[in-house]
Amino acid sequence: MRCDLAVIGAGPAGLAAATRAAEAGLAVELFDEQPAPGGQIYRAVESVPAARRALLGPDYAAGAELAAAFRASGAGYRPGALVWNVDSTLDIDFSQGGRSRQCRARALVVATGALERPTPLPGWTLPGVTTAGALQILLKAHGCVPSEGAILAGSGPLLLLLADQLTRAGAPPRAVVETVPRGRLLEAARHLPAALGAPGYLAKGLRMIRALRRAGVPLHRHATDLVIEGREQAEALSFTAGGRRHRIESGLVALHQGVVPNQQVTRLLRCAHRWSDSQRCFLPVLDPWFESSVEKVFVAGDGAGIGGAASAALRGRLAALGVLRRFGALDGAALEQEAGGLRRRLVRDGAVRPLLEALYAPSAQVLAPADETLVCRCEEVTAGQIRQAVRLGCPGPNQAKSFLRCGMGPCQGRMCGLAVTEIIAAERGEVPQTVDYYRIRPPLKPLPLIELASFEAAEDQPGDAPPDAPPDDRDAA
Amino acid sequence: MLTRLEDESEGAETGRQAPAQVIRFTFDGRPLTGRHGDSLAAALLASGVLRFRVSPVSGAPRGPFCLMGVCFECLVEIDGVGNLQACMVPLEEGMAVRTQGGGVRVVAGAAGTSEAS
Amino acid sequence: MGPLARADVVVVGGGIHGCSAALHCALRGLSVAVVEKNTVARHASGVNAGGVRRLGRHPAEIPISDFSMKLWRRIEALVDDDCGFQSAAQVKVAESEAELETLAERAALVRGLGFGHEELLDRRQLRDLLPAVADHCVGGLASLDDGFAVPYRATFAFQRKAQTLGVRFFEETRVRSLARDGRTWRLETDRGTLEAEAVVNCAGAWGNLVAESLGEPAPVEAIAPMMLVTAPLPAFCKAVVGATGRPLSFKQMPNGTVVIGGGRRGVADPETDRSDLRFAELRLTARTAAEVFPIMAGASIVRGWAGIEGRMPDDIPVIGPSTRAERVFHAFGFSAHGFQLGPGVGSIMAELVATGVTQAPIAPFSIGRFKATE
């Protein structure tokens, strides 16, 4: 099985990249784990009933056009496909329908998006504690809402958006507990002039807060020392705000501290990453065409840095142009004109980002969890154990992993990686760039042994004629 | 714990009133129902099930956290096969789902092996 | 500017052999510096299968393996950490009568050398030890009192114990050259000069770099043995298992996960420290595991990995004094079975450094066996 361009991820970036590349005549294969296009942000966008779509807002509905354009583009689409390995020659090892096969690609766009920042808090592993994104998926993809009022706790645009969507769906949260520290808005305000150039984000945020107030949803601000209480499952959230301790009961607590790039594929491929102080996470090092430090591996969407859905689609198109340029299939004035237009729109869409990043920086409590707090959920390793390993001499996350088993569970560090890096950096007095991150090894998700036993490598596949090569198959400078 | 939105039914867009297709399955032997299009995790949550497994390390109860295939907390056993992410599996008629076991169980007939946690 | 450090001994390489040699030299009262181009246990010592095995060794290795085993049994007293060491049977399974025959010959050979640790097993005895083994397995060879440990943890424990005795570790420090100046060895590194009276070369897959700079050929091949680990399974196997006719090393850990190795090779690049997996090869490992233990058909693989190991053409290590340079000693090239030898070989190296001689039968491992070819 071969293609010119493999795209991993059917969110806005992946859809846009695959569409643009296919429209230019490349043989494209889009791999995605979900059964339908949209990724997380546009999840279920093709099948959502009209009433629910209206509730979710106009930004969500924009995903339908992306999905439709992709369907019409002629790109190959492999839904329900889990890419579990990509090797250094860009052979894509994937599992679909219980079978594992290999697809040879000449270039790759990694569009695996973002995941929620780890939020280690006391009690966060109790049943009934979810991410804010999880409640949003229940709403978007299944039309399910909390029946008795969930507590939304943390910070970030998604928290307010979710509170607003749940309220409009008739299931207002029991409370919104925001962890943005007092005085943060003033600090962030220096970014305001640039932010006001962006399309109405701030206005939207204020509208949502007013709507919540009208619906009687309690909004607690500047909360600290969050503790999720419960024995067998979540029962309440207690926190300090306004100078006193609060306790609010609920069996559903949704946490959020922003989203961060999903690094699994870029780390697997050994792309260079750099620590971003403003986003407080690792970003792949990318050139202006979104090509990484590994030849012909491009990263588009939130995986390139958190920018939201509209930016993701723009980056996806730019990455496709980067691929075409690499293949020598597009150059000169036409390329520069199309790319220039996209870049200008990206700048405009990104204008609000510095404000959001400053305002919604993760809370001190999740960046420096108390010693008894579980950090690695899979292997039940606490923050204190990690600190102790560092004091014994573990210099980094990989040694801590070998010593404590943190990061060795099935989630392969997705839930704990950033938190472990932060804890080790703080304990060693080093910056996260130096401490770096877990080494990521395949399979990217657990693979049944018998499926590996019958894995069809590319060399086994008969009659594998390569598609016609694009007109001028040389690497562009 | 969760309710379904009132105006939900397939065909709402066209105005036809068609009931959403009900799917029957079991969880630890209990009969439950979900809807066509549900992930197994959504169907379990909508049925009030919060605890899907116990941690193999400590036996602590665990349930879904992210619902997008990243956290691996929603692991269940479906029709005898374990370690499946319920949030990534579409609900199907007749599925027999079980709580994912806790510590390392002893295989019957493995003489001489010791009990583990 | 003064040197980075001066010591009685500089050990090149921070794997199990380097850390063990350093510790044992320190126990003899010598001052030691260890220079490691990455971090301790970064390579083979941090990623191997952790087998603590006497079973099936090359006859030349058996005496030193036996000696090292005695140290493993007291490992907590030696390094203040149990290293995750568990006593366990190591078993080689025969999948055919012909394979069982070769195992019988092996058992006789080992007894003939005066060692009693390897016993032949018939069908019933094999199943007493391995109730879950496949039907077609006809018997095996077992060393009942072997074991396994946790490689990173063990190496790290040797490092920490050595540090409590004053051993200094220079990690992320690469030796560029070494030269003798009178009675002092000078090792130029990218962070300064190390000076010592003696040098121990424990540089693993990079051991040839030190050796060649002394004019001693040592054809080390960098290989990348691959490993797989599964999600926890119900407890079904207490022994460490190998096959006879095909690569397999198979061990169920106390937490139920199964670690599968055996030596199928990925791609090693010692220049960049990269080791890549080859799943076309690993599928053979998966098949072997499921064929020898049918219960593995229900396993799911959570992770695969590889690391860089040094292999000698004859699959036995280089151990002993340099044949070209005074006060230089080698211990590298352990060919994917050096972990168990770590404690014992470190003791032997310290004896060599401190006294110039050892009673241990290390002649077969001399670097002199690789003559320079014109």
Residues of C in contact with B105 (CB under 8 A): 234-235
Average pLDDT along chain C, 374 residues, taken 10 residues at a time: 92 98 98 98 95 96 97 98 96 97 97 96 96 97 96 97 98 96 96 97 97 94 96 93 93 94 93 94 94 94 96 98 97 97 98 97 97 60
Residue B99: other Cβ atoms inside 10 A = 17
Is the predicted pLDDT of residue A477 greater than 50, yes or no?
no
Q: What is the pLDDT of residue A470?
A: 41
Residue A238 Cα distances to A155, A175, A176, A361, B105, angstroms: 16, 12, 12, 21, 37
Cβ-defined contact of B110 to C231 (cutoff 8 Å): no
Q: B91 to chain A nearest CA, in Å? A: 12
| Residue in this structure with the two tokens 């949803």, named with its chain if needed | A217
Q: At what angle do helices C151-164 and A397-404 cross, to 10 degrees?
A: 110
CA–CA dist A41, B69 (Å, integer): 14
Grouping H, G, I as helix, E, B as strand and the rest as coil, residue A308 is helix
Chain B hits for A445, Cβ within 8 Å: 69
In this prediction, residue A185 carries a pLDDT of 80
pTM for the model stands at: 0.93
Q: Say which of A88, A453, A457 has its CB closest to residue C290.
A: A453
pLDDT in tens, B63-113: 999 999 999 999 999 998 889 999 999 999 999 999 998 544 444 433 332
DSSP state of A83: E
Give me the pLDDT at residue A263, please: 97
Question: For residue A380, is it left (φ>0), alpha (ψ between -120 and 50) or beta?
Answer: left
Strand-strand pairing, C274-276 and A219-220: unpaired
Per-chain mean pLDDT for chain B: 81
Query: Domains of chain C: which residue ranges?
Result: 5-49+152-219+314-369, 87-144+225-306
The answer to whether B89 and B52 have CB atoms below 8 angstroms apart is no
Which chain B residues have any C-beta within 8 angstroms of a chain C C-beta?
Answer: 56-57, 81-83, 103-107, 109-114, 116
Q: Using one digit for the tens of pLDDT, what is the confidence trace for A96-153?
A: 999 999 999 999 999 999 999 999 999 999 999 999 999 999 999 999 999 999 999 9
**Fold held by C87-144+225-306:** D-Amino Acid Oxidase; Chain A, domain 2 (3.30.9)
Selection from A457, A473, A367 nearest residue A101 by Cα: A457
Residue C1: Cβ within 10 Å count: 5
N residues, chain B: 117
- State chain A's mean pLDDT as an integer: 93
**pLDDT one-digit tens code per residue, A327-377:** 998 888 999 999 999 999 999 989 889 889 998 999 999 999 999 999 999
Predicted pLDDT at B19: 57
Token pair in block for residue A328: 């020598």
Structure tokens, A329: 């299939």
- A6: distance to nearest CA of chain B, Å? 21
CA B89 to chain centre: 9
Quick one: how far is CA A201 from the chain centroid?
20
Which residue of C236, C295, C298 is in closest CB contact with B113? C236
pLDDT at residue A463 in the model:
53
Question: Which residue of A409, A442, A449 is in closest CB contact with C277?
Answer: A442
Count other Cβ atoms within 10 Å, centred on residue B114: 10
The Cα–Cα gap between A114 and C29 comes to 55
Reading the block at residue C251, the tokens are 């061990």
Which residue in A has a C-alpha nearest to residue C161's C-alpha? A392
Residue A386 Ramachandran class (φ > 0 left, ψ -120 to 50 alpha, else beta)? alpha
Tokens read off for B2: 């969760």
- A29-55 tens-digit pLDDT: 999 999 999 999 999 999 998 888 888
Determine whether the interchain pair A399/C302 forms a contact, defined as Cβ–Cβ distance below 8 Å.
no
Residue B7 is predicted with a pLDDT of 54
Instruction: Confirm if A113 and A38 have CB atoms less than 8 A apart.
Output: no
pLDDT digits (tens, 9 = 90+) for A188-218: 877 777 666 555 677 777 888 899 999 999 9
How does DSSP assign A432-460, residue by residue? HHHH--PPP-S-SS-EEHHHHHT-B-GGG
Torsion of CA B89, B94, B98, B104, to 10 degrees: -80
- CATH topology for C5-49+152-219+314-369 is FAD/NAD(P)-binding domain (3.50.50)
DSSP for B2-51, please give it: EEE-TT--TTTTTT---PPPEEEEEETTEEEEEETT-BHHHHHHHTT---
User: What is the phi-psi region of residue C84: left when phi exceeds 0, alpha when psi lies from -120 to 50, beta otherwise?
Assistant: left
pLDDT in tens, A230-251: 999 999 999 999 999 999 999 9
Distance CA C76, CA B71 (A): 37
CA angle at residue A432 from A275 to A86, to 5 degrees? Answer: 60
Report pLDDT digits (tens) over A420-474.
999 999 999 999 999 999 999 999 999 999 999 999 988 777 654 444 334 333 3
Question: Nearest CA to A319 among A8, A3, A1?
Answer: A8
What is the percentage of chain A residues whose pLDDT exceeds 90? 83
CB A84 within 8 A of CB A439: no
Interface of A to C at Cβ within 8 Å reads 85, 87-88, 93, 270, 392-396, 399, 402-403, 408-410, 412, 441-443, 446-450, 452-455, 457, 459
Phi, psi of C166 (to 5 degrees): 95, 0
Average pLDDT of the segment spanning A24-33: 97
Amino acid type, B31: P
C326's tokens: 């005074």
Q: Which residues pair with C318 in a beta bridge?
A: C332
Q: Give first-to-last CA distance, chain C, whole Å.
A: 41
* Distance separating alpha carbons of residues C263 and C80, to the nearest angstrom: 31
Q: What is the 3-state secondary structure (H, E, C) of A233-285?
A: CCCEEEEEECCEEEEEECCCEEEEECEEECCHHHHHCCCCEEEECCCCEEEEC
Report the residue from B13, B58, B72 with minimal CB separation from A411: B72
Neighbours of chain C (3+ CB pairs under 8 A): A, B
Please tell me if the domain spanning C5-49+152-219+314-369 has the same topology as the one spanning C87-144+225-306: no
DSSP string over C143-163: EEEEEE--HHHHHHHHHHHHH
Residue of C64, C144, C59 lying closest to C110 (CA atoms) = C59
Task: Choose among B83, B104, B112: nearest Cβ to C234.
Answer: B104
The bridge status of strand A99-110 relative to strand A2-8 is: parallel
